[in-house]
Amino acid sequence: MIKNSELLNERELVVIGRLVDASNATLQAKLKDTDPVIKVIYKPIAGERPLWDFQEGNLAHREYAAFLLSDLAGFNLVPQTVLREGPFGYGMVQQWIDIDQAVDVVEFGQSNDLQLRRLALFDAIINNTDRKFGHLLIDKNGLLQACDHGVCFHSEDKLRTVLWQFAGMQLSSEENDLLDRVGNLNLEELLAKLLTEQEIAATRDRIARLKIANKFPNPSDQWPAVPWPPV
């Protein structure tokens, strides 16, 4: 794992492929002159397709906002991420995670693994509208990371996820500590250039509601609770 963003920010990006299943331009690249080779995901803003329900800002900024909250609050769920220039313009660059191919992510994603609980809480905070099994990245050490946070932080409640096995469960003391860490961040300053004022205020409101309820949210009956396809 890259321990800081220096390499991601400074090394030249060399594009080596494209993830063809992605709806937006999602490129695999490597950082030039690294040994061993460090691979990354590069999502240029110029390759984003407009979304009717996310009319403000861009996906790259939301991806970076998710990384900042994960990193600064101690969730440690989102791979190292930066915003920078690349061969196809400014965009999001995120460390590539080599996954353990032996892990069935659908089976793992329906388990009660404590890392999944932490991710379910994180998604509730950032209002993830698209948490699929395929976004779960488990490396050979069993460490869970998660990707694809471009459609998060909407000001309206739109949580859609495959991780509903914790719905209604009481939050642990450790999970409450994580909530407090996020709440103690200066979100208004930290996210000012990434999200709208309404989206930042809604994030604060979700944190407050989770603290008051002291439990994981339940699926809503007002919108689809599971993304489709779920993988």
Provide the sign of the torsion angle of the four alpha carbons 212, 168, 112, 138, taken in this order: negative
**Domain count for the chain:** 1
Backbone angles phi, psi at 76, to 5 degrees: 55, 45
CATH code for the domain in which residue 95 is found: 1.10.510
Q: Is the pLDDT of residue 5 over 80?
A: no
Q: Is the pLDDT of residue 113 over 70?
A: yes
Residue 44 lies in a domain: yes
State mean pLDDT over 84-96.
Answer: 96
Residue pLDDT, tens place only, 144-170: 999 999 999 999 999 999 999 999 999
Residue 222 lies in a domain: no
Integer-rounded Cα Rg, in Å, for the chain is 17
User: What does the alpha-carbon distance between residue 55 and residue 182 come to, in Å, rounded to a whole number?
Assistant: 26
Q: List Cα–Cα distances, 213 to 121, 169, 171, 177, 218, in angstroms.
A: 13, 10, 9, 15, 11
For residue 142, how many other CB atoms are within 10 A of its CB? 11
Q: Which pLDDT score, from 0 to 100, does residue 49 have?
A: 77
Q: Are 177 and 111 in contact (CB under 8 A)?
A: no
pLDDT tier for residue 4 given thresholds of 50, 70 and 90 = low
The larger pLDDT score, comparing residue 14 to residue 55, is at 14
Rounded (10°) angle between helices 173-184 and 59-73? 120
Residue 1 lies in a domain: no
State mean pLDDT over 11-16.
Answer: 95
pLDDT tier for residue 2 given thresholds of 50, 70 and 90 = low
**Strand (E) positions, 101-159?**
136-138, 144-146
Which of 6, 5, 125, 138 minimizes the C-alpha distance to 69?
125
Q: Is the pLDDT of residue 3 over 70?
A: no
Q: Which pLDDT score, from 0 to 100, does residue 54 have?
A: 73
Residue 64 lies in a domain: yes
User: What does the alpha-carbon distance between residue 29 and residue 8 come to, in Å, rounded to a whole number?
Assistant: 11
Q: Is the pLDDT of residue 93 over 90?
A: yes
Q: Are 210 and 171 in contact (CB under 8 A)?
A: yes
Q: Could you list the residue range(s) of the whole structural domain that residue 82 is in? A: 6-213
Range in 18-32, 78-92, 103-117, 203-217 the model is least confident about: 18-32
User: What does the alpha-carbon distance between residue 85 and residue 44 come to, in Å, rounded to a whole number?
Assistant: 8
Q: Which pLDDT score, from 0 to 100, does residue 172 have?
A: 98
Residue 223 lies in a domain: no
Q: Which pLDDT score, from 0 to 100, does residue 182 have?
A: 98
Residue 164 lies in a domain: yes
Residue 221 lies in a domain: no
Q: What is the pTM of this model?
A: 0.95
Residue 226 lies in a domain: no
